[in-house]
Amino acid sequence: MIRSASLNPVMHYGLDPGLLRPGDFADLIIVDSLQEMNVLETWINGQKVYDRGKVMFSYKPGPPINRFCCSEISREKILVKNSGSPFRVINAFDGELFTKEIIYKAPGGKTVKSNTSEDILKIVVKDRYHDTAPAVAFIRGFGLRSGAFAGSVAHDSHNIIAIGVEDEDIVDAINEVVRLNGGMAVADAGKIHSIQLSVAGIMSDRPCEEVAAGYQFLSGLVRDLGCKMSSPFMTLSFMALLVIPELKLSDRGLFNSNNFAFVPLFAD
């Protein structure tokens, strides 16, 4: 595996990083063992640039690149009026990027809400580049019993995407991401936990250990809310990727990639 990732590409493509021969560029890493592969030192052009956790050169980080041009939303923005017709539901699966379109019978009442007894939850996508109304639909497979979670990692446009039970929690989670100008958030009964992703709303400038701990903490909170997905935020991030079948939600509404067309929520 090491050979296929290092020597083979150099030989095949005629690259010039060298092969650690006299006269070659000293571009290399030193690891503790070939089994663990923990990097101890990094050398570039014969200069040590990293030594056991420390960067060996001075640097000045630039300002984070980001674009958030949206404002917070209200609960009224994600209400779904009940037409009385059956409606489309995104059926998601653990560990899968593919989804299925299912048709669900409309319940009684003036609005359509999440139904935890049948694992029908509300999903919302909010355009973060323009201050437009959010797109709202429903999804099955996440298993939340309460609360909501949201994030600005949503391939490929990276708008804000959220899934939840109660509208108040969905709004809280989305608005927390807006306030952070990018991040991930979990909301439940007024309690909100989050991490900021200050670089383009998809990455952080904080130490990786800190970000990893925050990500694991938030993922644990989502599972505590009943989520059945092994990687809740990862699966969430692909529910707006329209090119992967079958039914996904963008800021413009539901899209069926089999027909390559936007489709209405209600299947009249």
Q: Which tens digits make up the pLDDT trace of 230-245?
A: 999 999 999 999 999 9
Inform me whether the pLDDT recorded for 147 exceeds 90. Answer: yes
Three-state SS sequence of 14-73 = CCCCCCCCCCCCCCEEEECCCCCCCEEEEEECCEEEEECCEECCCCCCCCCCCCCCCCCC
Query: What span, in angstroms and rounded, lies between the C-alpha atoms of 215 and 170?
Result: 19
H helices, E strands: number in the chain: 5, 15
Label residue 73 by pLDDT band (50, 70, 90). Answer: very high
Which of the two residues, 9 and 187, has the higher pLDDT score? 187
| pLDDT tens column, 86-133 | 999 999 999 999 999 999 998 889 999 999 999 999 999 999 999 999
Amino acid 25: pLDDT:
85
Q: Considering just the CA atoms, what is the radius of gyration of the chain in Å?
A: 23
Query: What span, in angstroms and rounded, lies between the C-alpha atoms of 229 and 94?
Result: 5
Q: What is the value of pTM for the model shown?
A: 0.82
Inform me whether the pLDDT recorded for 17 exceeds 80. Answer: no
Q: Which two tokens stand for residue 80?
A: 């779904």
Query: What span, in angstroms and rounded, lies between the C-alpha atoms of 44 and 32?
Result: 18
CA 130 and chain centroid, separation: 19
- Please give the single-letter amino acid code of residue 119: D
Mean pLDDT for 144-164 is 98
What's the mean per-residue pLDDT of the chain? 95
Amino acid 123: pLDDT:
99
Q: Who contacts 74 (Cβ-Cβ below 8 Å, separation ≥6)?
A: 171
Are the C-beta atoms of 249 and 240 separated by less than 8 Å? yes
Amino acid 18: pLDDT:
74
Beta strands in the chain (DSSP E): 28-31, 39-44, 47-51, 54-55, 87-91, 100-104, 120-126, 135-140, 148-151, 160-164, 183-188, 191-196, 247-250, 253-256, 261-263
Amino acid 231: pLDDT:
97
Query: What span, in angstroms and rounded, lies between the C-alpha atoms of 50 and 237?
Result: 33
Give percent above pLDDT 90 in the chain. Answer: 85
Label residue 266 by pLDDT band (50, 70, 90). Answer: very high
| pLDDT tens column, 181-219 | 999 999 999 999 999 999 999 999 999 999 999 999 999
